[in-house]
Amino acid sequence: MVIMKKYIFAAVAALLLVSCGGKDDPAKKASGITGDWNLVGIEVKSATLGSETVDVYLSFASDNTFTMYQMVGTGRYRLYTGTYSYSGGDLSGKYADGTSWATSYTVEFNDDGSVMYLTGASGQERDTYRKASIPASVTENAI
């Protein structure tokens, strides 16, 4: 379970890092993370994820809480909740059980804010997330 949480957090963090290709708008950066996101890419420089398919939906609320649904392989999505801190492009957080995320992340966005990139503090992983509604089939069947 600890390994799964570490991976989940890494995937979440990767989602938060997005490349700002144009204007450096502080208001956009502060509110840009709020909303629902779906993992669409993982770049890992020092390890492999094997042959498992990973799907993650992540939701950041304006009250600094997050909800994450993750499925590795096949089966049902697992539900994780907690709190996050986002300031100056840096993201960190804790799960509801008080466990801190395995790392903090640098967050960047594409020009229109529809894609978020999360880069882990070590620089070894970068996750890409797209704005996407979380399907009811995910939220209703999560464990």
Query: Which position has the higher pLDDT, 96 or 24?
Result: 96
Q: Which domain holds residue 97?
A: 2-139
Here the CATH number for the domain that contains residue 11 is 2.40.128.640
The band of 45, judged by pLDDT with boundaries at 50, 70 and 90, is low
pLDDT reported for residue 49: 54
Please count the structural domains in the chain.
1
Please compute, for residue 109, the number of CA atoms within 13 A of its CA located in the half-sphere on the CB side. Answer: 22
- Lowest average pLDDT, out of 11-15, 56-60, 69-73, 119-123, goes to 11-15
Query: What is the average per-residue pLDDT within 54-76?
Result: 93
Q: What are the percentages of helix, strand and coil residues in the chain, rounded to 5?
A: 20, 40, 40
* Measured distance CA(140)–CA(143) in Å, rounded: 9
Q: CA dist 44 to 22, 86, 110, 124, Å?
A: 26, 23, 20, 6
